[in-house]
Amino acid sequence: MNADQLTPFWSMWVAVITLGVIFGCLALLLAIRKSEPHKEETDADTGHEFDGIRELDNPLPQWWYYKFLILTAFGLLYLALYPGLGSYQGLLGWSQEGQWQAEMDKAEQEFAPVFAALAQGSADELAQDPEAMKVGGRLFRNNCAICHGQNAKGAYGFPNLTDSDWLYGGKTENIVATLNGGRAGMMPSFAHLGDETIEQLSHYVVSLSGRAHDINQAALGQPVFQQNCAACHGGDGSGNQMLGAPNLMDNIWLYKHPNLTVRDSIKLTLQNGRQGQMPAFDRLGQDKVKLLSAYVYSLSQ
């Protein structure tokens, strides 16, 4: 949890306990010092003796006493300057996030010319440049691999970027547009058509890519498809890259659930709809977007 997420109560709680402990220790120290019977070292003892070892009744050593005072002052100064007391931000305005951001900005400034130099020329040209593609691959592993995989082959709901099947088009300008704007797939739910119709539709959809299907069921699904699905997926099921509606004829499935058959996965899609979200990456700047797009393009060549 972040300090600035503390409620005022817990913020006060932390601050009061922290200051209470510091001032409590200080008060204890001063009280002891005041109650000491003599200020100088003497030979007086407390009367305790064991095995010939006597406990002397001497004052606190000066060096120890002053060290304690200095450390207390340091602690209070630190708590005034830096965040430490609940959600109090400190006089210096320092924060972990701020320091991280400053380091990122510095790295950004340092490396911007490097990326700019690498990103000369069009994305199509960059895809032929091994040096640029090495950097593109590194950018991909840092920014994209969590969703699309180290090898860019995708996973359930995350498209394979190494094949020639594209939701939104595989030309470099399509990929640049995907990265700059992000993409939001919108496949509505058709649960209202009922289980029987969804069963028929699923047979028809798998028939489009030549998979095993029940001919009678598929024949019943065909007119329903024309009526409900053709607007987005096309009359023949070949898809529409303007909408990101997948080609249903190529036997490549974005939503093939690992534990279900293709047809059962399709039924799940029809029941629930699908909303794939590709985040926008324009914040990386256009040099990196170009390098990444060229890299993704090169994977499918």
Binding positions for ligand HEC, rule: CB under 6 A = 140, 143-144, 146-148, 157-159, 161, 166-168, 175, 178-179, 183, 185-188, 190, 201, 205, 225, 228-229, 231-233, 243-246, 248, 253-255, 266, 269-270, 274-279, 281, 292, 296
- Residue closer to ligand HEC by CB (options 57, 250) is 250
- Residue closer to ligand HEC by CB (options 83, 159) is 159
- Residue closer to ligand HEC by CB (options 24, 279) is 279
- Residue closer to ligand HEC by CB (options 3, 248) is 248
Residue of this chain nearest to ligand HEC (CB atom): 276
- What minimum distance in Å lies between the beta carbon of 19 and ligand HEC? 44
CB distance 154 to 161 below 8 Å: yes
- Residue closer to ligand HEC by CB (options 129, 293) is 293
CB distance 197 to 224 below 8 Å: yes
Residue among 300, 295, 301 nearest 135 (CA):
295
Residue 79: Cβ within 10 Å count? 17
- What minimum distance in Å lies between the beta carbon of 101 and ligand HEC? 20
Both tokens of residue 78? 């630190």
Both tokens of residue 266? 């399709």
Both tokens of residue 249? 């004829």
| Residue 67 burial (10 A CB sphere; 0-12, 13-18, 19+) | exposed
- What minimum distance in Å lies between the beta carbon of 125 and ligand HEC? 18
Q: Could you give the angle at the alpha carbon of 117 between the alpha carbons of 132 and 98, nearest 5°?
A: 95
